Chain A
Amino acid sequence: MDFEPVIGFEVHVQLATESKIFCACANEVGGEPNTRVCPVCLGLPGSLPVLNREALRMGMTVALALDAEIATRTSFDRKNYFYPDLPKGYQITQSLVPLATGGRFPVTRDGSTRTVRIRQIHLEEDAGKTLHGGDGTASLVDMNRCGVPLVEIVTRPDLRSPEEAEAFLVSLRRLLVYLGVATGKMHEGSMRFDTNVSLRRKGEEALGTQTEIKNLNSFRAVREALRYEIERQTRVLEADETVVHETLLWDPGRERAVAMRSKEIAPDYRYFPEPDLPEFAIDAALIEERRAAMPETPSEVERRFRERYGLSAYDVGVLSAEPGRARYYEAVVAELARRAGGAPSGTGDLAPVAKLAANWVTVVVGGHLHSEGIDLVEFASRAMSPARLAEVLLPRLRNEISEPAARRLFAEAVRSADSVDGIIETLSLGRLGDASELVRVVDGVLADCPDEVERYQAGERRLLRHFVGQVMKKTGGRADPALATRLITERLDSAG
């Protein structure tokens, strides 16, 4: 039986405002519990909400980027339920007149693109955090997160596999980080997902009964949870039984989805319009202002990287994964191009610069950040600005030093504030300029390994690499490998 998964999401994103959505408490992560609270987010008697207009503006930016239609008047509603980290006994959200409806987001995976349709986008407040003692011991509540602004993006069930779902979420996260509306720091809870998944026979239009899984907080969790649930539903259907609607809660500690305790089929939230907040008018001028202020989206950056720099799809992907990285890369290209001889026109001139910079930013800088455990922002401001990296790369671009030498140059340039020329001098990183010296080294190497020379001349051509390696070693990486190879083959072939 050929079943097809049908998957949709409710994505909750913490907006990167300075203050909370309905009060002026700081919107930050971490720190001591219950230190970023006030009468409003604690729900003290007599407190009242006041909307943070930046949350509304950020919500509008998200709506525009997803091609959704923004309401001319938007308003808030109360969703009523009891929970210890919900101090008012209701959440202020949007149900009746959300900020935006409709929209779409294309997801590309393995060369093919699916368009995921957006149902609606709305604003709401986050709740606090509860630490569960487990088996009857006390539960502890921290209200710091109460009132953090959330934008909720609801999709139609347009995704068809866990892998596609993950690609969608990764891509969405990147868009939100580029827009400047979210940090995207998953370990800090920047994004949380509720998913709904059902199965149907391929070709059928009707939807099967779905399972909802709430509170997923990582891409991996989404993949695992979906895989497990699809497998489970498949087994149920293949046994000719029916899937029962369930709502499960993802337990990040145990990394599994557990059935929720409540016996209610569908909780009655008794939504009604929030009387403490007025309607908010959104006129065309405001929408245009938001549109004009919108940062470049990832797909715009990708296109530029492909077209202007002629980069491979892989390189484009890696360099555009984070906006900070893309910005750093472009700055390096600009600085290097300038130093290499004026602003080049057309892809042709820029290609070697772009390619070299791409390799180095992805591999060398990336590797360095990973091994040192620092982030690009820190690296760029403390260790190596784009201009300095361009200085490091210039001799390499001009083939004045070898790749291994350039790596040593980089390592030293990160550590010290000395000029690049100074480091090249101090560490003798320049190429062996004198061909006769190189000839002497080649002769010396060949004299040191007569057995290998014999074997090479008997046909083991691959030993060439060994000889070249020895020459590089003897010269501390300063020899030009191409020249060394030529000299060695000349020597050996002529001797044969």
Chain B
Amino acid sequence: MEPCDLTFSDARRALDGGKLSSLDLLDSCLSRIGQADPDLSAFLFVADHEALRSEAADADERRARGGGLGPLDGIPVGVKDNISVAGMPLTCGSRILEGYVPPFDATAVARLRGGGAIIVGKTNMDEFAMGSSNEHSAFGPARNPWDPGRVPGGSSGGSAAAVAAGMCPLALGSDTGGSVRQPAGLCGVVGLKPSYGRVSRYGLVAFASSLDQIGALASDVEGAAVMTRTIAGHDPRDSTSLAERVPDYERALLSPPVRLRLGVPRELSSGGASPDVVAAVDAALEVLASLGAEIVEISTPHLGYGVAIYALVANAEASSNLARYDGVGYGARAGGAGDLDALYSGTRSEGFGSEVRRRIMLGTYALSAGYYDEYYLTAERARSLVAADFERAFREVDAVVGPTSPTTAFPLGERLRDPLAMYLADAYTVPANLAGVAAISVPCGLGADGMPVGLQITAPRSGEATMVAVAGAYEREAVRAGVRPRLAGGP
């Protein structure tokens, strides 16, 4: 088996045990990128190979001297192209940022580097994180490694595809309405969205400021847990970052879910998801039950309004966050603009794709005079009810479980004509962003079409340890039972 097809935990153990060098691991990943990326377009930018190899050599040297930087030392990592890496281009999947190179690292990136991780490159994404299929990238869609005729999900499609295809064991994504979990689910990898404020947003290009979080995509739960622990924690540069100490997620991985109560939302389980997805998730819940978890039905009557709330709140904040792309300070500028107005509208109309323009229009409308109360304010108030639903639920159960997405990965082009249909793909993931709680997607089998299905486990704010424990326990059992899906080429 190629080193790049090892799970994170296997790779880590091989590195620690001296059976694998970082250099070999990196070369294996770079080789896989070379082979598979022309078809999959998971990466928009790959760093200079020699520079990367030099970093890997440094990691090997540190290990040899017994002074490794931690569990991420020498591990190749992909970074979604809306997260700043100093010196690497940042496009957010958009033409409007062509040529932009940030002069600073996002805090999460700085922490990864501090842990010795090797930033291999920037991954493909829906433009400005607006999308659920990675088809809205100005640089062409990313494709699902399980079936390149299908979407990898979005907006962190590139990161999910990269991990699923063995291009790198770990990748950073961002999750505003499900953009880490949903592509993880569709690509058969693990995707973790921390509680709001758990990971610094400094250096993450803002889409919806009160919903965005940087999340981890990984080949296994341990990878997601370790990566999250490394990047999490208070950041004085982000006023919304939590001051609390970050728990030891790795330790949480080892605790079995005995006596944990898992809630299944009554209102969401009726209809919406395709039967094979329901079946795969039900089977996963049975596995958890067999491990000692108690599965109960809970009522969360307001989660079904999540997409409507999200459509207003996320896009309203986005319309403001994207006003800075005006051709003045950075990025592209419309040529031949004779006056300022022409500069602005030319730059923005040419630079933004249709989905971004649509969302900016919707968001601007929702904030505009005469409509603010009816749309934005109403949505913000309805959002409180979603948060209250979770609070109530978490008094009864330790975590909420269900499918990550209603369907498996759909064919490219299938949902492009109907924006609303695309938004509804996020129905199960959006509520966690609205309430600021933590959620993880872990692979739980295949659908009727042989495509991966994701099980979503949602925990209370600051409760990542709980969901990591449940996810880890399920994964161990699923691997043992041979249920955990791997791409051809894996065990």
Chains A, B in direct contact (C-beta < 8 Å): yes
CB pair A272–B202 under 8 Å, yes or no, is no
Beyond A48-B239, A50-B238, A139-B340, 17 additional pairs, beta carbon < 8 A: A43-B324, A43-B329, A44-B103, A45-B82, A45-B90, A45-B102, A45-B324, A46-B106, A46-B201, A46-B203, A46-B204, A50-B236, A82-B326, A87-B329, A89-B323, A275-B210, A275-B240
Enumerate 13 A-B pairs (CB-CB under 8 Å) in ascending A order: A39-B102, A44-B330, A47-B202, A50-B236, A50-B239, A82-B344, A89-B322, A141-B328, A270-B367, A272-B372, A275-B210, A276-B206, A277-B239
Q: List, in ascending order, chain B residues with CB within 8 A of A408's CB.
A: none
Within 8 A of A (CB), among B162-180: none
Q: A80-B323, A89-B320, A89-B326 are in contact. Are A278 and B90 (CB under 8 A)?
A: no
| Distance, CA A89 to CA B203, complexed state (A) | 18
Q: List, in ascending order, chain B residues with CB within 8 A of A80's CB.
A: 320, 323, 367
Find B324's partner among A50, A51, A87, A272 (CB 8 Å cutoff): A87
Q: List, in ascending order, chain A residues with CB within 8 A of B208's CB.
A: 275
| Distance, CA A78 to CA B104, complexed state (A) | 25
CB pair B369–A270 under 8 Å, yes or no, is yes
Q: List, in ascending order, chain B residues with CB within 8 A of A44's CB.
A: 102-104, 329-330
Q: Which one of B106, B205, B206, B238 has the greatest number of beta carbons of chain A within 10 Å? A: B206
**Shortest 8 CB-CB contacts between residues of A and residues of B:** A89-B323, A275-B209, A270-B367, A275-B210, A45-B205, A46-B203, A268-B369, A89-B324
* B432 on interface, CB distance cutoff 8 Å: no
CB distance from B360 to the nearest CB of A (A): 11
* B5 on interface, CB distance cutoff 8 Å: no
**Can you list, as one digit per residue, whether each of B286-324 has a CB less than 8 Å from chain A (1) or not (0)?**
000000000000000000000000000000110010111
CB distance from B323 to the nearest CB of A (A): 3
Find B368's partner among A48, A50, A143, A270 (CB 8 Å cutoff): A270
Q: Which residue of B lies closest to A278 (CB)?
A: B239
CB pair A84–B328 under 8 Å, yes or no, is yes
| Distance, CA A181 to CA B320, complexed state (A) | 32
CB distance from A46 to the nearest CB of B (A): 4
Q: List, in ascending order, chain B residues with CB within 8 A of A278's CB.
A: 239-240
Find B323's partner among A48, A82, A268, A272 (CB 8 Å cutoff): A82
* B364 on interface, CB distance cutoff 8 Å: yes
| Distance, CA A84 to CA B330, complexed state (A) | 12
CB pair B328–A272 under 8 Å, yes or no, is no
CB pair A90–B316 under 8 Å, yes or no, is no
CB pair A50–B237 under 8 Å, yes or no, is yes
Q: List, in ascending order, chain B residues with CB within 8 A of A275's CB.
A: 208-210, 240, 317
* B376 on interface, CB distance cutoff 8 Å: yes
Q: List, in ascending order, chain B residues with CB within 8 A of A268's CB.
A: 368-369
Q: List, in ascending order, chain B residues with CB within 8 A of A82's CB.
A: 323, 326, 344
| Distance, CA A39 to CA B86, complexed state (A) | 12
Q: Name the prevailing secondary structure of the B interface residues.
A: loop
Q: Which one of A90, A139, A141, A275 has the greatest number of beta carbons of chain B within 10 Å? A: A275
| Distance, CA A278 to CA B209, complexed state (A) | 12
CB pair B329–A42 under 8 Å, yes or no, is yes
Q: Which one of A46, A47, A78, A80 has the greatest number of beta carbons of chain B within 10 Å? A: A46
Residues of A within 8 A of B (CB): 39, 42-51, 78, 80, 82, 84, 87-90, 139, 141, 143, 268, 270, 272, 275-278
Q: List, in ascending order, chain A residues with CB within 8 A of B205's CB.
A: 45-46
The size of the chain B interface, using a CB distance under 8 A, is 43
Q: Which residue of A lies closest to B211 (CB)?
A: A275
Q: List, in ascending order, chain A residues with CB within 8 A of B6's CB.
A: none
Q: List, in ascending order, chain A residues with CB within 8 A of B102's CB.
A: 39, 44-46
**Can you list, as one digit per residue, whether each of B353-377 has a CB less than 8 Å from chain A (1) or not (0)?**
0000000000010011100100010
Q: List, in ascending order, chain B residues with CB within 8 A of A47's CB.
A: 202
CB pair A276–B240 under 8 Å, yes or no, is yes
Residues of B within 8 A of A (CB): 82-84, 90, 92, 97, 100, 102-104, 106, 201-206, 208-210, 236-240, 316-317, 320, 322-324, 326, 328-330, 340, 344, 364, 367-369, 372, 376
Q: List, in ascending order, chain A residues with CB within 8 A of B330's CB.
A: 44-45
| Distance, CA A90 to CA B321, complexed state (A) | 9
CB pair A45–B320 under 8 Å, yes or no, is no
Q: Which residue of B lies closest to A78 (CB)?
A: B320
CB distance from B98 to the nearest CB of A (A): 13
CB pair B323–A88 under 8 Å, yes or no, is yes
Q: List, in ascending order, chain B residues with CB within 8 A of A42's CB.
A: 329
Q: List, in ascending order, chain B residues with CB within 8 A of A50's CB.
A: 236-239
CB pair A270–B92 under 8 Å, yes or no, is no
CB pair A45–B239 under 8 Å, yes or no, is no
CB pair B238–A48 under 8 Å, yes or no, is yes
Q: List, in ascending order, chain B residues with CB within 8 A of A43's CB.
A: 324, 329
| Distance, CA A277 to CA B206, complexed state (A) | 14
Q: A51-B239, A78-B320, A82-B323 are in contact. Are A45 and B97 (CB under 8 A)?
A: yes
Q: Which one of A42, A48, A141 has the greatest number of beta carbons of chain B within 10 Å? A: A48
Q: A270-B368, A275-B317 are in contact. Are A48 and B237 (CB under 8 A)?
A: yes
| Distance, CA A141 to CA B205, complexed state (A) | 24
CB pair A45–B367 under 8 Å, yes or no, is no
Q: A88-B324, A89-B324 are in contact. Are A270 and B364 (CB under 8 A)?
A: yes
CB pair A272–B316 under 8 Å, yes or no, is yes
CB pair A46–B239 under 8 Å, yes or no, is no
Find A90's partner among B103, B106, B320, B372 (CB 8 Å cutoff): B320
Q: Which residue of B lies closest to A38 (CB)?
A: B104
| Distance, CA A463 to CA B240, complexed state (A) | 84
| Distance, CA A276 to CA B328, complexed state (A) | 23
| Distance, CA A87 to CA B325, complexed state (A) | 9
CB pair A45–B100 under 8 Å, yes or no, is yes
Q: A80-B323, A275-B209, A278-B240 are in contact. Are A48 and B201 (CB under 8 A)?
A: yes
Q: List, in ascending order, chain B residues with CB within 8 A of A143's CB.
A: 329
Q: List, in ascending order, chain B residues with CB within 8 A of A270's CB.
A: 320, 364, 367-369, 372
Q: List, in ascending order, chain B residues with CB within 8 A of A51's CB.
A: 239
Q: List, in ascending order, chain B residues with CB within 8 A of A277's CB.
A: 239-240
CB pair A272–B238 under 8 Å, yes or no, is no
CB pair A272–B106 under 8 Å, yes or no, is no
Find A272's partner among B103, B236, B320 (CB 8 Å cutoff): B320
Q: List, in ascending order, chain A residues with CB within 8 A of B104's CB.
A: 39, 44
CB pair B328–A90 under 8 Å, yes or no, is no
Q: List, in ascending order, chain A residues with CB within 8 A of B100's CB.
A: 45
CB pair B202–A48 under 8 Å, yes or no, is yes
Q: List, in ascending order, chain B residues with CB within 8 A of A46's CB.
A: 82-84, 102, 106, 201-206
Q: List, in ascending order, chain B residues with CB within 8 A of A45's CB.
A: 82, 84, 90, 92, 97, 100, 102, 205-206, 324, 330
| Distance, CA A143 to CA B324, complexed state (A) | 14
Q: List, in ascending order, chain A residues with CB within 8 A of B323's CB.
A: 80, 82, 88-90
Q: List, in ascending order, chain A residues with CB within 8 A of B204's CB.
A: 46
Q: Which residue of A lies closest to B331 (CB)?
A: A45
Q: Which residue of B lies closest to A45 (CB)?
A: B205
Q: Which one of B100, B322, B323 has the greatest number of beta carbons of chain A within 10 Å? A: B323
CB distance from A409 to the nearest CB of B (A): 58
Q: Which residue of A lies closest to B365 (CB)?
A: A270
Q: List, in ascending order, chain B residues with CB within 8 A of A84's CB.
A: 328, 340
